[in-house]
């Protein structure tokens, strides 16, 4: 039997270390919500390939639809059209927020973000963009200019895109303006308005881009009043509102897109990750008149809208619809949040539990409230040792990032929570923090 260590060693001899991997295992198979490593160890997967496997590994409907497509043709490029890609676009638009009626397919989240900002600049004739501090929008140079979840991602890549400004994300647990949710006057929004007075006039601003639920930056749902104020501000000044739903979309937050949970529609949306169950596919989805004003030759791709990825995407969306997985996501998410709140009452190590649907962050803190990255690292390792794959996020890497699939069974939820609670026990004991008796 091949050992994990052997594959890791071979990997080290061929890959750049620039690309970080969370766990030192190599997998042999993935089915449903479990993976098996090359040594035969089985794990419950609560990382879902960085949030791309919203209906788990190798869902039979995805496998069947892809197997039907492959013998027909696997690529068309921009040479001719094909029905599978058209059908996937039709279905994606049918579940997209109302009013977003045209799309452009690409391959990755970063590409979708690039497309969204190109569209916004082109059709508005304006160049400025406001993004939010702590956001992650991708690694290509345009998307990286918006990304600010960690300065390491930007180090030595300057100068980045000019006329990009950042305003603090409404991260209530660590409010950048030291407000408490009870007495919040939305100082973060006032700051954004101030930027329009000091740094860039609305007339120069093409777009404001935001993750409605902050992903890599810490798993923080934006407060609804903040998003509603953003929508009003954009309407008032003709600024395009872009929602980056690369991670929060495709059922992850309990509706097809997080924007629908909030009842707030952007002008442009970037979608990727979960839309094709692990096959590379992304999309810029926008209002019809914006897309109509983007002239031929203004954007393009060779692989975007690949028919095999589109077959996987169709099967993914049909599965979410037919199996009632949006409803499952809401009820599983509610149950998981309740269980985590219970754990928070027992472990002072847990400073905050927040999320939407099955996109949940658990922020670990030291006694003085500062981020506890060490404890987070130890919990990830403990969980892995007990057969649960979990990853972390946040600028200090102190936030457990829980993204189980929408197909998680009640028993799997139970199993995951049990492992997590045993890991918390071990790590809290090791710190002398101990477990608080149940109230």
Ligand X SMILES: Cc1ncc(COP(=O)(O)O)c(C=O)c1O
Residues that bind ligand X (CB under 6 A): 50, 108-110, 113, 136-138, 211, 215-216, 244, 246-247, 272
Q: How far apart are CA 377 and CA 357, in angstroms?
A: 24
Closer residue to ligand X (CB): 211 or 267 = 211
Closest contact distance (angstroms) between CB of 74 and ligand X is 21
245 vs 372 by CB, closer to ligand X: 245
Burial class of residue 17 (count of CB atoms within 10 Å of its CB; 0-12, 13-18, 19+): exposed
Minimum CB–partner distance for residue 127 and ligand X (Å)? 21
Closer residue to ligand X in complex, CB, 32/218: 218
Closer Cβ to ligand X, 164 or 196, answer by number: 164
Nearer to ligand X among residue 244 and residue 363 (C-beta): 244
Question: Quick one: three-class SS letters along the chain?
Answer: CCCHHHHHHHHHHHCCCCCCCCCCCCEEEEEECEEEECCCCEEEECCHHHHCCCCCECCHHHHHHHHHHCCCCCCCCCCCCCHHHHHHHHHHHHHCCCCEEEEEEECCHHHHHHHHHHHHHHHHCCCEEEEEECCCCCCCHHHHHHCCCCHHHHCCCCCCCCCEEEEECCCHHHCCCCCCHHHCCCHHHHHHHHHHHHCCCHHHEEEEEECCEECCCCCEECCHHHHHHHHHHHHHHCCEEEEECCCCCCCCCCCCCHHHHHCCCCCEEEECHHHHCCCCCEEEEEEHHHHHCCCCCCCCCCCCCCHHHHHHHHHHHHHHHHCCHHHHHHHHHHHHHHHHHHHHHHCCCEEEEEEECCEEEEEEECCCCCECHHHHHHHHHHHHHCCEECEEECCCCCEEEECCCCCCCHHHHHHHHHHHHHHHHHHHHHCCCCCCCCC
Smallest distance, Å, CB 149 to ligand X?
9
Nearer to ligand X, 100 or 242 (CB): 242
We find the least distance from the C-beta atom of residue 185 to ligand X, in angstroms, to be 28
Residue 216 Cβ vs ligand X, minimum distance, rounded to whole Å: 5
Direct distance between the N- and C-terminal alpha carbons of the chain, in angstroms, rounded to an integer: 48
Minimum distance from residue 418 beta carbon to ligand X (Å) = 28
Per the CB < 8 A criterion, the answer to whether 398 and 364 are in contact is yes
For ligand X, the closer CB: 267 or 412:
267
For ligand X, give the closer residue by CB, 32 or 404. 404
Q: Compare residues 109 and 357 and give the one whose CB is closer to ligand X.
A: 109
Between CA 169 and CA 97, with CA 261 as vertex, the angle to 5 degrees is 100
Q: Least distance in Å: CB of 148 to ligand X? A: 12
Minimum CB separation of residue 150 from ligand X in Å reads 12
Nearest distance in Å: CB 373, ligand X: 19
For the bound state, the minimum distance from the C-beta of residue 50 to ligand X, rounded and expressed in Å, comes to 6
Contact 299, 268 (CB under 8 A): no
Closest to ligand X by CB, 211 or 382: 211
How many Cα atoms sit within 13 Å of 198 on the Cβ side?
A: 9
CB nearest ligand X: which residue? 109
Q: Which is nearer to ligand X, 32 or 395 (CB)?
A: 395
In angstroms, give the least distance from the CB of 49 to ligand X.
11
């Amino acid at each position: 039997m091949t050992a994990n260590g052997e594959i890791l060693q071979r990997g080290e001899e061929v890959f750049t270390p620039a690309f970080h991997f969370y766990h030192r295992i190599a997998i042999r198979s993935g089915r449903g919500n479990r993976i098996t490593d090359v040594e035969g160890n089985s794990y419950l997967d609560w990382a879902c390939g960085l949030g791309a496997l919203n209906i788990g590994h190798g869902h039979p409907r995805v496998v069947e639809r892809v197997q039907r497509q492959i013998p027909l043709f696997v690529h068309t490029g921009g040479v001719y059209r094909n029905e599978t890609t058209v059908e996937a676009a039709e279905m994606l638009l049918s579940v997209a927020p109302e009013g977003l009626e045209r799309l452009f397919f690409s391959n990755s989240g970063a590409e979708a973000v690039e497309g969204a900002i190109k569209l916004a600049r082109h059709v508005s004739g304006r160049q400025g963009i406001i993004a939010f501090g702590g956001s992650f929008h991708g690694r290509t140079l345009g998307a990286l200019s918006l990304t600010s979840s960690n300065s390491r991602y930007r180090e030595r890549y300057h100068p980045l895109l000019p006329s990009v400004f950042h305003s603090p994300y409404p991260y209530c647990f660590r409010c950048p303006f030291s407000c408490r949710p009870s007495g919040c006057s939305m100082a973060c929004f006032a700051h954004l308005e101030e930027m329009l007075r000091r740094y860039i006039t609305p007339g120069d601003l093409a777009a404001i881009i935001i993750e409605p639920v902050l992903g890599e930056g810490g798993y923080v749902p934006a407060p609804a009043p903040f998003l509603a104020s953003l929508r009003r501000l954009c309407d008032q000044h003709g600024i395009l509102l872009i929602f980056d739903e690369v991670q929060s979309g495709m059922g992850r937050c309990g509706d097809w897109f997080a924007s629908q949970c909030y009842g707030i529609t952007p002008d442009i949306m970037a979608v990727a990750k979960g839309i094709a169950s692990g096959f590379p596919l992304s999309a810029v989805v926008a209002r019809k008149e914006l897309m109509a004003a983007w002239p031929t030759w203004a954007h393009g791709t060779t692989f975007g809208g690949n028919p095999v990825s589109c077959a996987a995407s169709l099967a993914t969306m049909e599965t979410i619809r037919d199996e009632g997985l949006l409803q499952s996501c809401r009820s599983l998410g509610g149950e998981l949040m309740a269980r985590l709140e219970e754990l928070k009452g027992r472990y002072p190590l847990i400073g905050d539990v927040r999320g939407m649907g099955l996109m949940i962050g658990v922020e670990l803190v030291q006694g003085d409230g500062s981020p506890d990255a060490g404890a987070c690292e130890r919990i990830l390792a403990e969980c892995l040792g007990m057969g649960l794959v979990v990853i972390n996020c946040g600028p200090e890497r102190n936030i457990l990032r829980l993204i189980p699939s929408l197909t998680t069974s009640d028993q799997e939820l139970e199993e995951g929570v049990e492992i997590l609670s045993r890991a918390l026990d071990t790590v809290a004991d090791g710190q002398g923090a101990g477990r608080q008796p149940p109230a």
